[in-house]
Each structure stands twice: as C-alpha cells, then as structure tokens.
Amino acid sequence: MMKHQLQANGKLRSSDNWQRGIPITQYMKSLWRHFMDVWRQHRGLPGQDTLEDSLCAVLFNTMGMLHEVIKARPEEAVPDGTEIMSVEPLTCGDCTRDDVLEGCLFI
C-alpha cells in the first residue's frame, strides 16, 4: 500500500483512509480490473502491474468490500440473545509511522 500512497496531486494518502469508507461500487470496479489483470498474466499475457501487485490489489479490494458489507449489516444477536457489541480498532494514539513499521502492538 505504501507504493500507491502518492496521489496524483502530489500529496501523500493516509494509509488508513480506506476506513473512512469507499463505495462498494468503487471496490467492485477495482476488484474486477485487478482480477482481469491476474487472469491475463495467468494466461501468459502482459499485465498492467506485476502479478504480486495485482494479487495484493484483489485482496485489498475484497477485504475492503467485505468491511463495507459488514458495516452496513444491522446489529445481530448471538444464539443466546446477547447483543454483539461493536469493537473499535485498537490504537495507542501515540503511534508514529516508524512505530507502525517497527511493529506497534496496537496497529
């Protein structure tokens, strides 16, 4: 993801900006485009990106789309009737980019 952090306007994209929400249609378009790139390379044709980049993009879009689908679900109850509580991502609030690269336990 760091490879694609530089945006067209020259600014750096926040590595967690996807958590603010990306429309499912955007995930689907990107997923399809990258899947087709993987398929082309599997067939021996040239791809737009490396095979590894395309596979990572397929995974990113699949997980991002799943994230949006789960967020949109109404709260569910477990079989005994107990409500499932929403869990916020863990963060220590003091992490820097270097902490994340070195393996911060909260990210």
DSSP 24-68: HHHHHHHHHHHHHHHHHHHTT---SS-HHHHHHHHHHHHHHHHHH
Is 14 contained in some domain?
A: yes
Residue-level length of the chain? 107
Is 16 contained in some domain?
A: yes
pLDDT given at position 101: 44
Where in the sequence is the domain holding 40, given as residue range(s)? 2-79
For residue 52, give Cα distances in angstroms to 27, 28, 40, 91.
18, 19, 13, 29
61 touches 27 (CB < 8 A)? yes
Is 104 contained in some domain?
A: no
- Local structure of 102: helix, strand or coil: helix
pLDDT given at position 73: 85
User: Could you give the CA distance from residue 51 to residue 53 in angstroms, rounded to a whole number?
Assistant: 6
Number of structural domains in the chain = 1
Is 100 contained in some domain?
A: no
Is 9 contained in some domain?
A: yes
Report CA torsion sign: 63, 20, 5, 36: positive
- Residue 1's pLDDT band, with cuts at 50, 70 and 90, is low
Q: What single letter denotes the amino acid at residue 40? A: R
Is 98 contained in some domain?
A: no
> Average pLDDT over the chain, rounded to whole?
77
Is 87 contained in some domain?
A: no
Q: Which residue has the higher pLDDT, 39 or 8?
A: 39
Of 9-13, 65-69, 72-76, which range is least confident?
Answer: 72-76
pLDDT given at position 19: 75
Is 107 contained in some domain?
A: no
pLDDT given at position 87: 46
Percent of the chain with pLDDT over 90: 40
